[in-house]
Structure 1
């Protein structure tokens, strides 16, 4: 199944509902124009399996450019995140990644080899998904493509999953946190009246 549209037709919440309700497996790509003309476009990718989110990535593109900005794809990799946390050296992580069997999520393999513990694996998953979920929940205008024929990116996957319904809850919490506090509106209104 392929679905192409905009957030004017289907919101991020509607797409999560579709993924959850139909227990979809596949890929969602969302592209949004950043507010400042110099910021260009942002692209968010989310992979899901049987109605749950299993991986996410984001990249920036300069206005008028079709290629990712330098380093974006590396910054989405589990290897880069593990190295940034100081858990594994680049040499060790690269060697282990090359030994990962096909059809096994990379994070799961590192856990099986005891290179990561459960807490670290959960932290990687959160570092990967949280910024993308938050960003998508705040977008008002974007184009998207949903494709259930795309293969899952095992090199980006931890082996953990977040049910799409739970992602909806996180997204709503992010949107609520971004909105102004009710007291703030009252204080500002009171100042205008005086």
Structure 2
């Protein structure tokens, strides 16, 4: 499945979620765009294997991971070059170096976090970007540590550093809406202190506005936190109840359906309901 377009049409979180859910393998190339300057030399290359991110680079010279190892002083350039040439072409470089005893598991984790988490978070600061997904691109073994991560683990830190929320303005849950948990027990993704504070208060009878008051936070901040929890599949928005002066009929007439504009939250909740329907045997 080839795919291309602009972040203004399909946001980066939505794109990553699409590739993750489809368990796609291939190369996602992104060019950062600054329409004011009309030119940008920001390029990012994200490789995925079965929907999981395995490597992120800014160049296609097959030397980014090796240079990062040297920069962090795990190995000198001479030893890195020698081992680089010895690495089998079908084995991730990081895994090979660990098997040789020259890198530890902890060092590989640090390299992966620097390579993937840090650079993907930069993407969330781009005003806009053009993307293209190539499912036929081979995996770059020389850029791979042997580790991988699901897209949602990367999206969440990215959304935390996002400053311009204009692309998601119409997707934020309403202040009068409530949240309900979609998981039992502890969250399956790591959340920060602010997200934990909101998570502990979510209840179908407590609106986001009330949560903001209890936590002494701006409503917009709580809406953004709620959006993050919704996007990674931890919570679901429950729209505000119909007021007494409005018609509470859940079935719209044909004329009403043709004229009423349904909110984005309606579609998100509808998708959530379909996901909860058990598959037939």
The structural deviation recorded for 1:33 is 2.6
What displacement does 1:140 show? 3.5
Aligned to 2:179: none
Query: Unpaired runs of 5+ in structure 1?
Result: 60-71, 186-194
Query: Which residue number in structure 2 is paired with residue 121 of structure 1?
Result: 108
1:41 match: secondary structure: coil
Match of 1:142, SS state, is strand
> Quick check: 124-133 or 104-113, which moved more?
124-133
Match of 1:80 among 36, 48, 67: 67
3-state SS of paired residue (2:127):
coil
The DSSP-based 3-state class of the residue aligned with 1:8 is coil
Match for residue 90 of structure 1 among 77, 99, 104: 77
Aligned residue for 1:48, secondary structure, equals strand
Instruction: Write the distance in 1 (CA, Å) between the matches of 2:71 and 2:17.
Output: 34
Q: 1:20 to 1:113 in 2, by over 3 A?
A: same
Partner of 1:132: 119
Cα distance in 1 for partners of 2:72, 2:123 equals 25
Structure 2 gap segments, 5+ residues each: 165-216, 221-281
Alignment size in residue pairs = 168
The equivalent of 1:57 in structure 2 is: 57
Deviations 1:120-150 (A, max 9, x none): 1011111111232112222231111011111
Q: Does 1:168 align with 2:155?
A: yes
Structure of higher CA gyration radius: 2
Q: Distance in 1 between matches of 2:122 and 2:103?
A: 28
In 1, Cα distance between the equivalents of 2:98 and 2:78?
17
Deviates more, 1:50-59 or 1:115-124: 50-59
**Local SS of the residue matching 2:81:** helix
Higher RCO, 1 vs 2 (CA within 8 Å, ≥6 residues apart)? 1
Q: Report the RMSD for the aligned CA atoms in angstroms.
A: 2.5
User: Aligned pair in 2 of structure 1 residues 113, 23: CA closer, same or farther (>3 Å)?
Assistant: same
Question: Kindly tell me: are residues 25 and 38 of structure 1, through their superposed partners in 2, closer, same or farther at Cα, counting changes over 3 Å?
Answer: closer
Partner of 2:25: 25
* Structure with more strand by fraction: 1
Runs of 4 or more consecutive aligned structure 1 residues displaced over 6 Å after TM superposition: none
- Secondary structure, aligned partner of 2:143: coil
- TM-score, normalised via structure 1 length: 0.78
Assess if the C-alpha contact under 8 Å between 1:47 and 1:56 holds in 2: yes
Instruction: Please name the residue that 2:269 is paired with.
Output: none
